[in-house]
Structure 1
Amino acid sequence: MKLPVLPPVAPMLAKSVSTIPAGASYEPKWDGFRSICFRDRDQVELGSRNERPLTRYFPELVAAATTELPARCVLDGEIVIATDHGLDFEALQQRVHPADSRVRMLAEHTPAAFIAFDLLALDDRDYTQRPFAERRAALVQALSGSGQSFHLTPATTDLPTAQRWFHEFEGAGLDGVVAKPLTLTYQPDKRVMFKIKHQRTADCVVAGYRVHRSADDTIGSLLLGLYTASGDLAPVGVIGAFPMATRRQLFAELQSLVTTFENHPWSGAAHGADERTPRKNETSRWNAGKDLSFVPLRPERVVEVRYDHMEGRRFRHTAQFNRWRPDRDPLSCTYAQLEQPRAFSLGDIVPGLDAGNA
């Protein structure tokens, strides 16, 4: 490749803030794989947040880049998969697979899209030292003729519009708003943008724990569950950000609740268990050396956690500990307590971004 900005490039990052700041450019916060797309005529490379190439996992985007993008350009954006029910991050994760045949089958059946939100280079011009307002204007012009796979994210400088997006777009699977100062240059791997994400709380049942990698008598993470309308305890996520002293204390406290797998709701024979239910002697499909086995607990302890949004029946990201709830009956910890965003169409956010049209 002969571009003014060459791979690998670490994407510019955002720091979390509690409110949407004034005087910026605002965009929806997309929930996918962050990627920088490099195109030099017939050569296309998709970089990732950790600077490792994603190119082989998205052959449909590589092909589309050669017909939809300017001949020589570098774009920052997000790879997403659109469905009738919003963005599908789980389907996106399935694409990172060692078998090329499976990757190509999924590319045909669940095609991905690239949502562009910044411009690093165009032809022989390096835009990284130019203010964001100028980069945005050039990006809009560069993508004016893009097709079904590459899309321009909406943006506004109107704060009330950004506040409305924050609430409305969650119903399509987006998880907040990003604010960019108009004078901001592109700064790789620096947290110089701002992200505002939804924050909610839920009371969950502690159903098990994993030991810490450094000691067998220390908690690594707690496995959380919520009861369904039919009375099954469904896995909903984990919490794990505890000080080391708290991890040891929790290990001692929870020993009286340790039970057998046969008597646990996630035994595998339990009604309602699915492929995402934690298993005995489980290992990670993403990291063959990572042990995901857990110690089952009687579901008698309740914890209040903070979370941003759901992906299906689970927390999209790791939840955060808020407080213990000894006053709550575990059976009262159901999905009914969770706030349900009003459904919103992806096509109303980005025209053409609909299931099957990515």
Structure 2
Amino acid sequence: MKKLISLICVASLLLGLVGCDKQPGNTASNGEYQPPRKTSTYAIVVKDRNNQYMQSMISGFQAACDELGVNAISNGPDTPSAAEQVEIINDLIEKEVSVIAIAANDAEALSPSLQIAIDRGIKVVSLDSAVAASGRQLHIQQARPKKVGRVLIQAAAEIIEGSGKLAVLSSTENAPNQNDWIKWMKAEYDENPDKYAGIEWTEIVYGNDDSELSQAKTRELLEKYGEELKIIIAPTVVGMEAAAKVITETGSNTKLTGLGLPSQMSKYFTSDDGICPWMYLWNVIDAGYLAAYAAHALESGEIKGDPTDVFMAGRLGAKVVDDAEDGGYEVLLGDPIKVDKKNILIWESAY
């Protein structure tokens, strides 16, 4: 009898241990054990980690991931480099992350690795600067490139009252978003010869999103064209701040407009004849936030990434998938925001 009781106790203990092993999982309707689902990991890869614009984008991505209950990680090269981004992508593939959101340093160079990621079941979303359509499932378009490019040169013309020389200070020669905006600047200029008859488009220089190099390129422009250079358009936040510093230090009368961070540029809006009468941008934090929600909609199956797909993007509300100019698909954040003396302090507190 004692032996029988002992056997029953051992059997009960073993069943209890098996039961303990099952607790984290679920039991399907057919009684079969299902292992627990692991928490998804969403990765954001930026152009370079030392760029305040990119850090603001990361913060929005992280905030959305916290709301969605997924893990968030961020990475990027120290300086803009497509080759280093490829290495980071390959590492994320090996780690089997659920999502890669990336701001591309080169549209084409990243595509082969991202295609592998997609084939492995990883959802790929680009933001800020698009990868080629074949290397992504969605792109988060901060504002229509056509609108950004045209509004920048229209602003420049208005600031210098339609007369003088103009130059462009860009980031890198291969940056997809920069080249898109510049393409539309040039289109606006070429298509409206009467409107821009008094303005001479001189050249485009590249500061590689490096503050020191951007400052050096600005000095070269000021030395080369002197007081005839009436305005510089910098469609890059690093270039905007760098150019503003040099113009201030040299005492030049050259004006500045472009895409800048309010927190970096507010001091250049202080007077009626300020260096930068106005500039443009969008909510950078929201761009990162939207990327995480779009990726989650893909991962959860809420959308397939086809045109007219609709998903909820947290505090941003409903968003619609649309056709992109490059043949892929995108989600629009909104229109560019004009930042001037009237609202600079409001936006400065945001980013």
| TM-score calculated relative to the size of structure 1 | 0.24
- Relative to its length, the structure with more strand (as a share) is 1
Structure with the larger RCO, 1 or 2 (CA within 8 Å, 6+ apart): 1
> With structure 2 as the length reference, what TM-score do the two structures score?
0.25
Query: Greater helix percent: which structure?
Result: 2
